[in-house]
Chains A and B, each alone.
Chain A
Amino acid sequence: MTTLLEMRNITKTFPGVKALDDVSIAVRDGEIHAICGENGAGKSTLMKVLSGVYPAGSYEGEIVYDGAAAEFRDIRDSEDRGIIIIHQELALVPLLSIAENIYLGNERAQSGVINWQETFQQTEGLLKKVGLREAPGTLVDSLGVGKQQLVEIAKALSKNVRLLILDEPTAALSESDSQALLDLLLELKAQGVTSIIISHKLNEVKRVADSVTVIRDGATISTIDARGGDLTEDRIVRDMVGRDMAHRFPDRTRRAGEVLFELKNWNVRHPEHRDRQMIRDLSMHVRAGEVVGIAGLMGSGRTELAMSVFGRSYGRDISGEVLIHGKPADVSTVDRAIAAGLAYVTEDRKSLGLILEETIQRNTSLANLGAVAKNGVVEDFRETEVAEKYRRDLNIRTPSVFQKVMNLSGGNQQKVVLAKWLFTEPEVLILDEPTRGIDVGAKYEIYGIINELSAAGKAVIMISSEMPELLGMSDRIYVMNEGSFVGELNADEASQERIMSLIVRE
């Protein structure tokens, strides 16, 4: 096999930071090449160098593409050569149709007049290729994230892609959508498309990658050939974090006490479509000191359940009962839910969890500002003390608590969200995808925090799409499908297969 792309000794410096330090990577023609590394390791920077976001001349080193030295001046330049990036945050216009999105900026047109027939016909062909059964005229808005991802890939194909780069393509996808996407990648590979995939999900990397390059702290650590058979998850993790991680989940002693949180006959309808029942007659309980997982596919109603309990932040016509310590609790608004001892760490920390433009200190105190105030006047020295305490306790890596949250890495941002909720001194914590999009090291730390919370007698509910995490952390797992629980498994009897079969059997 020949080499399609070689990036040699790439060094990229930002004022004060060396983001890439002598990174080299070689991608063979027709392979799927995975790039792994912790957040902030330099993966995205490397891809921006490759795609011309950082133009030639702004970095040191050379890029050899398709047998010749390449100097891309901008994205358009690299796209002309068949290098296409699909970013983690999808770049689709929601209120345009699939066809319009695919040919956006690349319209099938003669002298500025769009040929709709050609557009739709070609779109149909592309959609067939990526296995998306939707009409070309469908608005992107009405598609789920998984299908939108497919539209992005169809868009890439429309540009005669040779090298497809996917940045965390499955981060927001459900298990089955992820599988479908990975299958598609393998199929594209069979058709001769080379891919680079950046991913945190090692099982997926293991499944599709022909070779893996691990980057740490802006430098290449290792390149592993998967076909040789020496690719193991442990090996990748070791290279990523630079230390041996014997256990991906910290040990915990199980000590469940009395029932702390109870939900009885919970019903929720869709906020706009009243006829759609999102949560159906659901009951659950969590004991003090227990970590209870909720497994389920995307759209099974896990987030809707959590948000409807937390101050009716989702849905309408909500009925049912919430008991805390056996007594009915008023959770009808968010502030009442907080007062009742509930905390909800949202799935989407950037848009729902944090005020990015504000400091760590102000985000930490946000949900319990009254506790650092007297007669409505904030005592900022007390606020600083609180923020400092959580910075130490949760090991938030930052020069100071006056740093804006937007400057932190994903893992540290997530710790700030946790700090905010811990400061409300909750009894019941609902964690919705608590480790999404954060690196292995930070994940481990967050698992440690969860264990400490349960050791302190809190009731923890963990919603996660990552099965190993659910299995590794939970004492008990509820399996959810279409708005109700279809099974309940104890830690010792749970496995990925059993959970999936419970979902599928419905």
Chain B
Amino acid sequence: MEMTQQQANAEAQRCLYCSDAPCRDACPAHIDIPTYIAMIRSGNVRGAAEVVKTSNALANVCGKICPEEVFCQTACTRMKLDAPILIRELHYFATRSEARSGFSARRTPPPATHTAAVIGGGPAGLGCAFELSKLGISVTLFDAKEPGGVPRATIPSFRLTESELGDDLRFLADAYTVRRETVTPARLSSLRKEFDAVYVSIGLGLDRTLGLKGEHLQGVLPVLPFLESAKRGTAAVPDRVVIVGGGNVSLDAASTAKRLGAASVTLIYRRGEREMKVWKSELEEARRQGVEIRFMTVPVEIAGTESVVGLLCRHTKLSAEKDASGRPIPVDVKGSEFMIRAECVIIAVGQVIGSDLAREFKLTKKGYIAVNGEFQTSVRGVFAGGDAVAGEGTIVQSVAHGKLAARAMQRFLHDTRRASRPGHV
């Protein structure tokens, strides 16, 4: 829900306008939050939107779905007095208002001195492309599909509307030239010659599997194709659906299945609610839709002969030992098997890189593209960022990642030029 002018004013008046504001540090894109809130307060809503957009290229998308309870609002000083400022909602109010009344004219970017190819038009690619254009680097954006990445492909439309993403893409459109093509490893080599620098932001996109018996059965769906078809309007669900996985994507799938008409939707997660790393708004939405969430539950086997008839599960308990994320490791409780009857099982247990391009680079142990502190991959002149480097993250983190990489690319291009100058050793 978008705030009214009066609500936005009242909320903005609560802001303490902290010096060196902690909210700004907590925002991955470092939006100058107190300044834009002061602008809303003074009635300069257009100025407020400009402050947001100066730091975040996907302003309307983040204004709508950024998990404020993870970032800015966790740092709000006002919380120590009463309750945090509704920072995201004020951001959304400002950028929606600007989108409706027409984007502000931007300053002419500096004349292009270099060229860059950005592979992948998701949040990281768009963040990088936008920052590069501000730096006077001419950008060509390669994507097999229309730019928009995860927000376009799989974030359900009940969370993010076509117009919110569309407004951001409309705003960004003159920052780059789009080429609709799939970049193959061979094509990457030619792009390296054609452009001064390359940024790889190919995301993840391939669902992990469970490796359980019955995973081949009809009715077992990886979550990403399911969400994509739901967004296209071609998905259908049977009466009973089980979702395996305890992340935001699983909650999206659960809420979507319910909205598509499934009579019962059960989500199973191997740990407890406290360990679930999801956003409050997502969990609330799933519960509002009537999704049943079974904590401390792991899948054992998918039952059925040709089609799924159910999911055999087992209860877990949390051990004292903790994993890399700092959460207790769940262990199966022997003999606790039980069956959840369902005609569809959706697997949402994380993703890996789907693109062939990954093979061209040195990868991390987890299978992501390895980069150094300057976002450089093992291939000279090729930079990378976003989920393909950092693993599944939020949109704002990817935008910020792309922005930082753009600065690193500029430093690289600047140094390369100096190094190639005659007489320079």
Q: Do A and B belong to a common assembly? A: no
